[in-house]
Structure 1
Amino acid sequence: MSDLVLAEVSRWYGNVVAVNDINMHIRPGITGLLGPNGAGKSTLLSMMAGLLPPSTGTVTIDGTPVRGHVRMYRQIGLVPVQESLYDFLTGEQFVRLNADLQGVPDPATATAHAIAQVEMAPAANRRIGTYSKGMKQRIKVASVLVHDPAVLLLDEPFNGMDPIQRRHMMGLLHGFAQRGRTIVFSSHILEEVEQIARQVEVVVAGRHAASGDFAQIRRMMTDRPNQYLIRCSDNRRLAALLLTEPSVRGARLRSADQAIEVEADDFGRFAHVIPNLARQHGLRILELTPTDESLESVFSYLVNS
Structure 2
Amino acid sequence: MSEVRLEGVSRWYGDVVAVNGVSMTIGPGVTGLLGPNGAGKSTLIHMMGGFLQPSSGTVTLDGEPIWHNPQVYRRLGLVPERESSYDFLTGRQFIVAMAKLHGLPDPDAAARRAIGLVEMDYAAGRTIGQYSKGMKQRIKMASALVHDPAVLLLDEPFNGMDPRQRLQLMDLIRAMADEGRTILFSSHILEEVERLAGHIEVVIAGRHAASGDFREIRRLMTDRPHLFLVRSSDDRALAASLVADGTARSVRLTPQGLEVEAVDFARFTLLLPRLARDAAVRLWEVSPSDESLESVFSYLVAR
1:191-217 deviation line (CA, Å, top 9, x unaligned): 110000011000111010100013223
Q: Give unmatched runs, 5+ long, in structure 1.
A: 227-245, 247-263, 275-293
Determine the C-alpha separation between the residues in 2 that align with 1:268 and 1:72: 58
Aligned residue for 1:74, secondary structure, equals: helix
Q: 1:222 to 1:107 in 2, by over 3 A?
A: farther
Question: Aligned-residue CA RMSD in angstroms?
Answer: 2.8
Matching of residues 23-172 of structure 1 within 5 Å:
23-172=23-172
TM-score by length of 2: 0.75
Q: State the AA in 2 paired with 1:217.
A: I
Matching of residues 1-305 of structure 1 within 5 Å:
1-217=1-217, 224=224, 299=297, 301-302=299-300, 305=303
Determine the C-alpha separation between the residues in 2 that align with 1:19 and 1:140: 26
Determine the C-alpha separation between the residues in 1 that align with 2:219 and 2:253: 14
CA contact (8 A) 2:217 2:296 kept: no
TM superposition shift of 1:304: 6.1
Determine the C-alpha separation between the residues in 1 that align with 2:252 and 2:70: 51
Q: 1:27 to 1:132 in 2, by over 3 A?
A: same
CA contact (8 A) 1:198 1:215 kept: no
Determine the C-alpha separation between the residues in 2 that align with 1:99 and 1:23: 33
TM superposition shift of 1:298: 6.3
Q: Aligned residue pairs: how many?
A: 250
Determine the C-alpha separation between the residues in 1 that align with 2:159 and 2:257: 35
Q: 1:152 to 1:31 in 2, by over 3 A?
A: same
TM superposition shift of 1:85: 0.7
1:229-271 deviation line (CA, Å, top 9, x unaligned): xxxxxxxxxxxxxxxxx9xxxxxxxxxxxxxxxxx98899698
Q: 1:269 to 1:205 in 2, by over 3 A?
A: farther
Determine the C-alpha separation between the residues in 1 that align with 2:155 and 2:221: 23
Aligned residue for 1:126, secondary structure, equals: coil
Determine the C-alpha separation between the residues in 2 that align with 1:27 and 1:117: 23
TM-score by length of 1: 0.75
Q: 1:109 to 1:224 in 2, by over 3 A?
A: same
Q: State the AA in 1 paired with 2:94.
A: F
